[in-house]
Structure 1
């Protein structure tokens, strides 16, 4: 009897354990984030962190140390001072939604990760054992607000990779072994308020920092030289000790000759070399000093004589060369050969002549192609030789735009200076009309490229958009999508716009001309149910699209997160939303020439205005998506992809399938893919399609918030349209114009 009771108790205990372990098998955390955590755990050497596992686990559900989540996504890793070792490897790039990474004050070694997640905003790897150089792939983290790599063992130069990081507010690279000069792209950090570079071996001047909005600058104990820009002296917290700064303008004399007395500093050495170098004897003999200066004098005389001979020979050669052409050029142009046409010759002459002639151009014009604002200097100088007869007009253009004291090209009145002959093929728009050539192609101009195709859109400067969005601040952040982030912009006239800031990956897919063609094509898609493109910006290496703003957000939010708007989505409103979305696709598929495939149609790209009228966004942006397989993968994650995505194909009928998924969301109030539901109900299409032709099952799956306020006839017809759209074979799906006609009969 006792044995039986014991066996019963053991069975009950085992049953209880099984019951307790079943919920644990349903993980809360995104599987991709779990993989990233497991990979990071291995890279760090499997440290004894509470909750962390080598394989699987549920970081969000089981409260792993240092892990913070929002719903099922890991958004923060804070392990400051956790006595961690090992390396980071490339595991951080696997996180899909992480915002903050803090591994400060540990013993982590190896290299800085080659890439960070595109969503990350705060990264701290300070006080560790990292070696190697700072990766240039930092440019892919366009949303970075703070980056701290201080007190490691990093070496090499600071990479010229800061062009896209316009929202970066704090940068700390102090306490490393960095060398070289400050990279030019630091000038693009228009939001930077704190910069710490102390205790490195950086050289050169501080000119690239003078226009930044810095409030805290520490450059102590480096090798910076030259005069300190006056603007930097006004920084509230500016620490500069331990650098060999000159207090006056650097003289334009010849460089000093090497010392002839080993180990003894001379009066020709820099003051800082005397102060910091080896100790010299207290006194030098008069004879030794006299002999030293004699040797120096002889050396300089010899060098000077050789330079004079070289200059004379060179001048004679140049004069002979000019003598053959001077009369012809003066007769043709009616001006001296020392005026602007000499500058324009650099477009077609040899590199040697280019270097000589550029000496006569003002410093601002010469340095313009080197300001690293994303200007392609090769494009600036390419003007075909057959256009020689336009040199007089080119002179006028140079006088009116290149001789500006600022670092931008003013093209406000450039129409009268455009060359008359047709430009080479790469300057032609799709319609064959010629656009501006030469310097007009520079992306840092105030009005980048005038084209008849862009007459309906406005050109914004990056500076103005920064002002309107408060430097793309977090409070103006609307959301992030496949191609970049969207911010709210408030114009001086109180008008609200939406600015889509394309990320670096999207920007690199198209050249300048292709991007302007893209803008032109987007502007042609005009329809009441398509989000209007108001303008664009393409300067300083950035590309931004400015759209009209829709006050009620996306249809996805209205259906799934915003209860207030959800209750406003009555059955008639939902039919009207479906009709508006169908009309937008009809415009893209059948009215636009050439036809446009949306390629990313989903409820998150359908915006609602104050009247709950729908406006389709991201129209015409398909060329920016890297590849069909990539976009297919992303759409599959939302459950909106047509089956043919598996084979890498996408057509107009694929858009129709995605439209059917949106109609299913309108019908059921469910997400296209919902991991929180039971496995058989996670993909909306798989769960709903078998029920569309069963009137009882159809009635049960309608969004409960509708409270039965619809007719069964209307419901059945809506379901029939959905069923036709989500057919597995593309050829069995109707044209979008047929769907529009069906929905019109339901209104």
Structure 2
């Protein structure tokens, strides 16, 4: 027995090396990648469910310890008909997908790979502009984006690539200048055959291996750099070296020298003063005229492109804000409102003051800019009176109640012009002064009235009168997703699998808009199936966006309990923290509801928590089939269901940092929707 003891010790020492266990986050990412590929039989060892990439030697995978640090799938022919994978192992040092046929755009997950040193995706069919995602990649030394269809200007975050030595952008459709590359430590740069313009920075001309043919460079010499201003502009030296104030004329004294000084230096100074005054006057006149004509040109450009106007946070101090509002004529017919609603616009006192201030500026009738304190934020939507809404709702009759939640009841309102809207009567904490409540309400409505997206419920009006606070939304006659899935109304027909995928995709797009288009990003904080409204074509609309600020501190606990009915994320349980990634978690629960038809929390079932019951079964094919909503009657593509479950698993990861941003969720669901559209199983 003693003779065998050294052998046992030797086996114990070797066991960690022999049994190589891959980090679970890396396994999940590679499983998701493989399941999204239409044909990848040449990837030996790969699986869409579990496995050990590091220990089993998957094709193209290299590891350091338990972490996947290198993926080399170059020249594998695996991209045909496939979007670029949206989920990648987070600790990669080298990523090479070159010489395949991937399409789509770069995934946002690359921006989080702080260890990445080598990125080669040349020779694919990638397109679109590059997102500003390169600010946190300090080790990246080689980038090859050549032979794709990328377009647009180079992102500003390229300038943060402090270790970049080699950059190949040839044979794309890039535009603009390459000034952002000027200060990078490049030794090899190829920008051949793009649509770059302007001048080549002098710093880049010194690169040993620099190629720039096939662009639209400016043939004229660049303008000279502006001269630095004088260190002491308030004084200028005279011929005698004495410092003299330039606007001061020296007194007349006897003597030729003094006479010369008077006619030379003094006269020159007088002329200089006159010219300076005339010049300043001309500049001021020009600026005043330009200000009058272009006072709101920036906002006009935003509106012309229908770009989201930044949400202005409530300012607890009285710091001045510049807030753009439409004119009265525009308010009567909101430019982004699909309802085309026309209604009487009640003018508040401070709006009257602003109109008087701008009555001579009729050329600004399309848009006006006003400077006001935050408490005077004006929503860019219609204003209704309490009398208007009483008439439309039958004096807020119980027969017209169509919903009720923490914020208050929702009424169906029908107006004389035939328009039908939803009126939400807001319960605001009454412990504060009326002026503070008014400020809070107007600031919130001002923010959310600027939200314009096909999958976000549109605010079309508000009422703030006699202590009442109401918000008017477009009405979606099919009610909420919760009603369709859980309330058992015989009038609601079962949702097909295709429609469920499209509801998930539309909801994801609405959240992507709130998270990654709005500035600053808007966390929903009350995301659940009851707040996903369905229109006549069953398109989803995310509602109740941005209303959390209206909940008083005393009501926060009730709010959290309302969220907690099956939607509580791990971080909410541990610390009460709610972030963008908490919205992602709640979206994963909504997807679970779409798959199973079950409520997030059901006391009538032995397994009351939907997440706790369903999550362990998401990667078990047989168990997954048994989880599916029975109203589907087994009519769904197995591969689509599996892909849907993979997205759910990503969204429901316990660590928030491992959950994908909504842009990647959208990419994954787009692929599923395209597969359904093409009839692929």
TM over 0.5: no
TM-score by length of 1: 0.40
- Using CA pairs below 8 Å that are at least 6 residues apart, which structure has the higher relative contact order? 2
TM-score by length of 2: 0.44
